[in-house]
Amino acid sequence: MHISELNIYPIKSLAGISVEAAMVEERGLRYDRRWMLTTPDGMFFTQREFPRMATMSVWIEEDGSGLGVAADRFGDVFVPMNADSDKRQDVTIWGSVCEGAVYGAALNEWFSDVLGTNCQLVKMPDDSRRDINEIFNKGDEVVSFADGYPLLVIGEESLGDLNMRLRQAGMLAAPVPMNRFRPNIVVAGSDAYAEDDWKRIRAGNAEFRSTKPCARCVMTTVDQSKGEFDGKDPLKTLASYRMAKDVMPERIAPFGMTDTAVLFGQNLVGESVGASISVGDEIEVVESF
């Protein structure tokens, strides 16, 4: 088994960036979900409410000075690596609250125009702490603006099995791409859903610990190339065979899951801060559930 794809998503819910290598940091891969769009009072935005976010492309400037962001009909804009104002405020992601550094009016107006609603861009400062779920926290472990955990891994064969089921059910005009599920690490050479049982893995010189399988939502139904909802699949088909009560009933209570959680992919915590992982690195299963 080996890493076939590495992805980071600098601004939460905007398009991702495929990279050849990435550094493992305390909050996840470097640059991953360190920025986020929110309401003026700090409530997070995602494709669930604004599917158009999927079509906003992001890149890291070659000199490391910041990000570039582009949107159809609105051109592009430069985002400095650090907020260009002194304002900080509490921001909310699901049930957790942490501090974000707020960018200035000009950038916020651009993003507001693109989304057609009043919003602001924030960055997570290095001294802002957002703990992962206490059920899985081994100490002072934190996460970025990701939904809940620092990283997500999915095997290519898991997606292949899903696409086979969609095709057999006549629900597939074209294969569902991996970007519907926004993984950080994609693995080639594993069996379908093998990641369900990975308790600890090693990639190159870095080790990662599993927390819980990723419960999927309506965001998987957003066509990432169009920025539009695209029917009920693949979530509907996944729900027909990947609910927690069917896949791993013995883990529902200890993992704090609901019976009907639809599972696809495994959430990870990086335990080798400062290590780098690369496409092509071999994956070794160190410990299984």
Ramachandran angles phi, psi of 137, nearest 5°: -80, 120
Residue whose pair of structure tokens reads 């801060």 in the numeric block: 273
CB 97 within 8 A of CB 90: yes
The residue type at 35 = W
Cα 180–156–143 angle (5° rounding)? Answer: 60
Residues near 213 by Cβ (< 8 Å), separated by ≥ 6? 196, 244, 247, 248, 255, 257, 261, 263, 264, 265, 266, 267
CB 99 within 8 A of CB 174: no
Cis bond leading into 234, ω under 30°?
A: yes
pLDDT tens across the length of the chain (289 residues): 999 999 999 999 999 999 999 999 999 999 999 999 999 999 999 999 999 999 999 999 999 999 999 999 999 999 999 998 899 999 999 999 999 999 999 999 999 999 999 999 999 999 999 999 999 999 899 999 999 999 999 999 999 999 999 999 887 778 999 999 999 999 999 999 999 999 999 999 999 999 999 999 999 999 999 999 999 999 999 999 999 999 999 999 999 999 999 999 999 999 999 999 999 999 999 999 9
Cα 203–209–214 angle (5° rounding)? Answer: 105
- In angstroms, the CA 213 to CA 203 distance is 19
CB 99 within 8 A of CB 88: yes
CB 37 within 8 A of CB 11: yes
